[in-house]
Amino acid sequence: MEIRFYRDEPLSREARSLPAEDYNLTRLLLARASAGCVFVPIRSMQVLAVIDAEEIIFTHREAAREVEIAWTRFRPDERTRLDEPVGFEALYYQPGARETMSRLQGDFLKALRLMAERQAPKTDAHVLAFPAVNKTGQN
């Protein structure tokens, strides 16, 4: 299945940072996805987020095929720890997108958490025991 989204040149852009928990959850959900992208409904805002390997786009239900905001150019390699925020660039394509952005990060994290909970593995994990190796390389 192929879904196309449309956008013109951005009206504005700005550098931002995404809290580590949000970024890490997007990568976890993307790793679990078989289609190469993840659709995250943000019901409280009537917004759909689409996560792929390069960016996260946001569309509003009134213009479902038009990108309102895109988060792109993520820079996880600039952080030294997994709990540090990740820098990115926010691109605004619609008038009023900055107002949407003011609520987006909080509501997006709630939607990500809900999706991660629903997709959590349902089976118990098993830890494999390996025999200890001494300094000579023998068991």
What residue spans define the domains of the chain? 12-119
Phi then psi for 57, rounded to 5 degrees?
A: -110, 155
**Burial tier of 135 (Cβ tally within 10 Å: 0-12, 13-18, 19+):** exposed
- Token pair 């879904």 is found at 3
pLDDT in tens, 77-114: 999 999 999 999 999 999 989 999 988 888 998 999 99
Query: Which of 10, 6, 18 has the alpha carbon at shortest distance from 97?
Result: 10
Q: For the full predicted model, state whether its pTM sits above 0.85.
A: no
Q: What is the dihedral of CA 50, 51, 56, 62, to 10 degrees?
A: 10
pLDDT at position 136 is: 66
Question: Hey, which residues does 135 pair with through a beta bridge?
Answer: none
**25-80 residue pLDDT tens:** 999 999 988 888 899 999 999 999 999 999 999 998 777 789 999 999 999 999 99
- d(CA 139, CA 131) in angstroms, rounded, equals 7
